[in-house]
Amino acid sequence: MIIGYNRNLYIGSLVFLIIIYTVGVIGLNTEFKNEIAALTPYTLVLSAIVLLLNHREWNRYFVIFVAFAAILGYLIELIGIESKLIFGTYSYGKTLGYKLYGVPIVMGLNWFLMVYSCGMVANLLRFGVFIKSIVGAFLMVILDLSLEPVAVNLDFWTWENGIIPIQNYIAWFVVAFVLLIYFHKLELKKMNRIAVGLFIIQYIFFFILSYTL
């Protein structure tokens, strides 16, 4: 089922995302920092809802991708904290909410959000699946570079000895690349302006916080 472009939905969604992330930037730099940080899981859920509402083509391939990206993202994180061989030695704090076997369940949703958004940005390029997947994976790493100091500061997770290992970024790239190959091979219309907007908003959000917190 292909859903036509809805200008009002797009504008409303964009304004909504700008507002909640702006409130986040401001709130996290006040005395209510902990209370605002505790809203992070809800912000991710709302962001996912907005993305899905603006998705243009729904079919079984897309539904399977959403489920696969979220489940694989969660499992990779689970294996990562248990084995310490994927991202390095780290553990999750309390900010991201309810954990299942030590991993916040919202992390699966976060992997879908980031892969989908980066995939949509990369899809603007007139290249093949391989190049688009490489570009999208690099965008994931770039976003993570701004995210990491904020995540540690807000107790999303902590690293052993406070050092973020290079393997973390390599693992992000590899996992993202695999998921993006799958995404770009999907038989569906890959047009979602809000996904591009969310990527930009999140990058600015984490970039600002990395300097202000």
Instruction: List C-alpha distances in Å: 16 to 10, 54, 70, 194.
Output: 10, 13, 24, 11
If you average pLDDT over residues 138-158, what whole number do you get? 94
- pLDDT for res 184: 94
Q: Band the pLDDT of 119: cuts 50, 70, 90.
A: very high
Question: Span 112-137, mean pLDDT?
Answer: 95
- The mean pLDDT of 8-20, rounded to a whole number, is 95
The 10s digit of each residue's pLDDT in 68-100 is 999 999 999 999 999 988 999 999 999 999 999
Quick one: pLDDT at residue 2? 65
Mean pLDDT of the chain: 93
What's the pLDDT band for 208 if we cut at 50, 70, 90?
very high
State the pLDDT confidence band at 191, using cuts at 50, 70 and 90: confident
Centroid of chain to Cα 45: 11
Q: Specify the pTM.
A: 0.93
